[in-house]
A and B are shown apart, each in its own frame.
Chain A
Amino acid sequence: MNLLAAVNWHSVLFMLFALLACVFALAVVFSQNVVRMAFYLVLSLASTAGLFMLAGAEFVGAMQIMIYVGGTLVLLVFGVMLTAQSTFVSMKTSAPEWLLAALVGGSLLYVLFLAAFGTSDWTTARKDQQTVSVAESKAAAPIGLGLLGIRVDSLSQPNETLKAGQSGYLLAFEIVSVHLLVVLIGAAYLARTKRRRQEWET
């Protein structure tokens, strides 16, 4: 019972979600069926959303589920169904390609692993670690205000040089909005059927 009392549930949940995210990410790589890949990707991204929430970013986590999992991936599956020639599409990869990819991937993973555990400030948790709780995490309103150009979260920034740079994200927000509108129109234009013009000509 003492053993159970000492368990750090945050870490346990982290491991659970981390394991799910990694395993399903690898399943995406090794699966040959496109719809299966999309399904594994959904699970991997949803677990990542869980990791976001564990890190105290509950708004980003919900956003991840809403936009990535509920929007982008539904779109992807839709695309898979529209472009499937046979019932279950699969395209084989040759062995040399796998070898090269494994080599590149392995070395990349090694470098990233060294980088991740190379800094002592990153490996150790902060001394006065706060309790991590979804119920107490309240990032949504400061994020909303920050997107409007008011950084209520960093008013206590003592460093004047840093403070000048933290003036909110209004411009970026506007640019992204216009970008989305352009993408909406552009995607509709690109994907439109061209039959009508031929009908008109004939």
Chain B
Amino acid sequence: MAFLIVAPHRLNGYFVNLIYITLVYVGLAYGWNIISGYAGYFSFGQITFFGLGAYATGFAINAFHVYWMLAALAGGILACAFAFPLGYVMLRLRGPFFAMGMFGMAQTVRVLITALPATGAGAGLFLPPGSDVTSVYYWTLAVALGAIALTIWIDRSAFGLRLQALREDEQVAGTLAVDVTRDKIAAFALSALIPGLLGGGFIYFLNYIEPDAAFSSRFDLQSIVMAILGGVGTVWGPLIGGVLMTQISEALWAKFPQFYLMLFGGLLVALLILLPHGIVPALKRRYE
């Protein structure tokens, strides 16, 4: 922990950058884990909120010249607020219908946002020159730690138990006096807040954003795979999966620029065959 706090002052730019991107992935995996791991609504579209947060932040910085963290905070809150009406509609779908619905939603939101003149459409959006990497690092560290703390709380709270009840059987949970609609929308909004806040940091980090980067399906898929590899619906799964995957990917990528995708894919398949429920559940079974 102390290491993560002093890192920007002790390590070179590359390692700060590597920890930064690891934290982004870990945060995204935690965000996904709330709605998809705990509540059982498998989403393929959490990047919607990341992109929304990024563009809202960029717009606020360019239009109102506010300090970037305030803009990113507003971006996160906007993404979270948007999740309420969206969740009210989308969470009526279940299983693969919800997963595909969210995938479509990400594309729809992307098209709508980039149709606004203020976003520069496909040409992208530049921020005023100069970005301070250290502040983005701390912002992202805070969001990732917040996401972990939130998950610990959910895991121990009555709210978390209700989410798990509706994951196992939504109808039974409904008959047991659980207000399933309210709970799942709350879970959806929390899982939107985290990518929203991270997206705000991301645009400031790059100083420029375009739709492919803001609504990157790579971010979505990789963070889902990280959560699955670590253990879906567990407190530490997204952290372990996220850190492990980014480090392995980075090591292969640097050593084998021509081969790394194949090696990485093979390794991932092997891990998932060996540990179908993820690392954390496998460890639990072994030591209990």
Partners in one complex: no
Listed in ascending order, the chain A residues whose CB lies under 8 Å from chain B are none
Listed in ascending order, the chain B residues whose CB lies under 8 Å from chain A are none
